[in-house]
Each structure stands twice: as structure tokens, then as C-alpha cells.
Amino acid sequence: MSQQVHAVTAETAIDPDDITIAYLGGGSRQWAPNLIRDLAQSDLNGQVRLYDEYYESAQRNAEFGNWVHSDADVEPTSEWSYEAVESLEAALTGADVVILSTQYNPAETFVHDLDIPEDYGIYGAVAATIGPGGIFRAMRTVPLYRKFAAAIREHCPDAWVFNYTNPVHFVTRALYDEFPEINALGLCHEVLGTRHRLARYAREELDMDAERSDISVNVKGINHFTWVDEARCKGVDLWPVLEDLVDGDEGHQEFTWDDLEDESVFVDNWQVTWELFRRFDVLPAAGDRHLVEYATSFIQNGQEGLNRWGVKRTGSDYRAKHWTPAESDQTTDVEAWLEGDKEFELEESNEVFVDILRALVGRDTYVTNINLPNVGQVSDLEENAVVETNATVRANEVKPMAAGGFPRPVRALIQGHVDTIETIIEASREGDIDAAFEGFLIDQQIRTLQTEAARELFAELVAVQEGYLEDWDLSDSAVLEESEAYQG
């Protein structure tokens, strides 16, 4: 049975009827409207300050939040007010809770993370959390989050910080590296999706009445490369079910592009999951589109290699198009709700923010997967590296659970990514671009390249995103000086 290790605790209790939330990235087109709807259906009350580089976007969400609680034809169970603010100080001063959810314009960043590595034979499925794309997303994001951590230290050092920004492991690690006493939680819904899937198998294979909340798992790893070695539904062991499925038709499917053409880019056929389970006897607990970028043999042979496993690539055209709300299927059209062009309902997002917050204010005890620095919860990964395990949340504390270690082959895969993450974080302290290249060079996707090709890929990504790398010292870089891609 898992034992608990040292807790993260805050000195000041939160009043559940007067909570102040600072939302950095409060102009968000998806997360902020989801938060507003979840809070409206909660038994908590307070105010939310929305801060965003695009102030007009924060104003739009503030208008929406106040509309939900005053003019919408719904009946919230709580009382919340929303205000757009124009400075970090105004957002953070005295905040009880800080939410971090930001993204740079993907048409100027994300598309390059996908397209340029492809020219070098690296065919990432998502390119957002590891590999060349994930590393450059981290290099763009980590300096900003160091500034956020410093501002939190100044204006609300005891606040609970919820980080949703990818790459979650890099970003959460940077928050703690800048401000070691921060109470920051890295959150992701991938393990929640695995629990949804396991509930489905309990229904289909065992004829149980099961939903996500009935599933308990012992989860461990790093974000988007988490693993499960225990799974139960209402106390019933699901491992024999998984062993039967992996040996049957469910675990042996193959796909082509024609099979996937009309599917969402988020389709998850679990064939990578089954293959890794078959080989290592530990069940991955993240979507296949993420797993392939950590277990890199699956991204060989381009699109055909991905499709064979039922994975559909998130292309750069999709990323660029979905920056514009009017063209988006995945972002929320707040304007349409406000103007009455689209019917509004209070729907739950299936995220766990409110569940965690209710536990922190003492309304409940809650167990969920959380990314935190390793203080013993994963026994064979290095101390302070950000790992993802279950944690128990109760009044004013988050206590991660000791989840044990890994079979050697799985540990080897994970440790390589930890080394990449830690090297990039160390480089970011001084903005040392050549030290960042060392982290880039040891990434498991990059290892397929000759060092000169890796250097040119790195330099090309720097050149096309230079405006987003202002906190890195590019002028004194030996790596960039050697490169034709950068100098050209």
C-alpha cells in the first residue's frame, strides 16, 4: 500500500466564502470559460482577477463571468465576481490562489516546432512537451514563469499556485527553481482520461456500474509519461482484465491513414499503450499521442509509422487555425453566448480544479494526480525533479503519495527525459543558450541525428523564434556561431 511523504502546506487558511483568485493568462479562450462555469456550480464564493498580455481578452472573460452570475438564464450555486486587471501586482496582491494558463501565438511559434523538425526526419505527434518542439516551448515559457514565481514571492508568497501551462514538468520545475517555497501544483488531465478508460473496461468486461471516480490507480512518472502498476474499481483488481485485453483483439489493432482521416486529432486508440504494457508489464497512463514522443521508437517512419498505431498527428495547420476562435472547434465562443447567438448552459469541464480547491479550504478530502518536486514519492528518480503521482489534498495541505519505483527499462526511458528537463532548467538560470543546446542534444528524439544536424535544427528553431527568446544570451553563443542556419 502506498505511504505518504512530506506535504506541501500553506501558512494561511483560505476562507471558502471569500476566495481571491489571480488568473495569469486570464484571456484564455478555453481554460478561463471552463473555470467560470465550474466555479458557478461550486459551493465556494469569491473574486477572480484576470490578467493577460491581451487585456481585451481578459476583459471579455470578465464580462462573461459577471454575465453568468447576473444576466445569463442559469442559476449558479455560488457568488463570484470577475475583474480584468492590467498589472501582475494588481492581479497577485493578497491572492489566495493563482492559476497559470498561458500560450504564445502558435502561428508564430508552435507551427515551427512541428514543421522544422519534420525536415530533419523528426515527426512529432504533438510537439508540445518533449522533443525539439517541447524543449523550445519550454525555452520560450520558462523565463516568463521565473518572473511569475518572483512576483508571487513578492505579492502572495503563501498562495496556492495551479499550473496548467505546458510543458507542465518544465514549467512547474522552473517555478520551484526560482522560488523553492512556492506552493505550486502542476495539473494535467491525461491520467484522468486513463481512469475514464479503465471505468469503461470495468463496465464492459465486468458488468460493473463504474465511472471515473470509482477507479483508483497507483500512478507515477513524469507528466505525459506516467505509468500505473495498480488499478482497481471499487476495490476490484482490474489487472487480470488488462492482461486479457492486451492479449486479445483489443490490444492488437493496426490502422492506416484512411482509417484515421475523419477522426479528431485527439483520437486515442490505446495501441501504443497496449504495446508498452505488453513489453514492460506496467500500464502507461497518458494518451498515445503523447506517449509516442517519450517512447520514441513509435515516431519513426513518419506519418505511416504513427498511423499504424492509431495516432493522428496534430499538424501545424490545425495549430495555426485554432488560434482564431471563429474557426475553432476546441475554443469557446464567449461572444456568441454573450450576444445570444449560441445557447448557454452550465456544463462541467471534467477538470479537477474545484475539487482540489474545495479540499484546500477544508470542505472535503480529495485524491488526484499532481505534479510536484520529488521528495520520495518516486523512489528511483532524482530528488526535486518534478514527478507526477497521486496526492491527498485536505485543508491547507497537499501530501504526495509514495508510489515506488520502476522496472529498469522503464526507469531508463524516464530518466533520460528527466536529464533533458533538468539540463534546460539549469541553463535557464543564466539564459545560457549553449547549455540549453546540451539538453537539446541529449533529448531522445534528437539522438536520431548526427550532432551537426542537431546543431542546425537547434539553430534554425532559434532563428525563426528569436523574438520569443529574448531572455537567452544568443549573442555570445558558440553553437549559433558555428551554425549556417543561424548565421545565414
Kindly list the catalytic residues.
189
Unique residue bearing C-alpha cell 471516480: 213
Grid coordinates of 129? 512537451
Least Cα distance to 284 among 206, 348, 219, 341 occurs for 219
Q: What is the C-alpha separation between 486 and 488, in angstroms, rounded?
A: 5
Residue 405 corresponds to which amino acid?
Answer: G
Question: Which H or E run contains 481?
Answer: helix 478-482
Residues 6+ apart with CB under 8 A from 440: 132, 135, 420, 424, 446, 454, 458
What angle separates helix 190-206 from helix 239-247, to the nearest 10 degrees?
80
Residue 204 corresponds to which amino acid?
Answer: E
Q: How far is CA 71 from the centre of its chain?
A: 33
Three-class DSSP category at 378: strand
Reading across the β-sheet that carries 19-24, which strands appear in turn?
Answer: 8-9, 397-400, 386-394, 366-373, 183-186, 160-163, 97-100, 19-24, 46-51, 80-85
Grid coordinates of 106? 502558435
State the burial class of residue 253 (Cβ atoms within 10 Å of its Cβ: 0-12, 13-18, 19+): middle
Residue pair 389/220 in contact by the 8 Å Cβ criterion? yes
Residue pair 34/58 in contact by the 8 Å Cβ criterion? no
State the burial class of residue 39 (Cβ atoms within 10 Å of its Cβ: 0-12, 13-18, 19+): buried
Q: How far is CA 442 from the centre of its chain?
A: 22
Complete DSSP assignment for 256-289: -HHHHTTS-TT----HHHHHHHHHHSSEE-S-HH
Sign of CA dihedral 416, 422, 426, 432: positive
Grid coordinates of 244? 486479457
Cα-based distances in Å from 405 to 171, 215, 378, 408, 425: 24, 21, 6, 9, 24
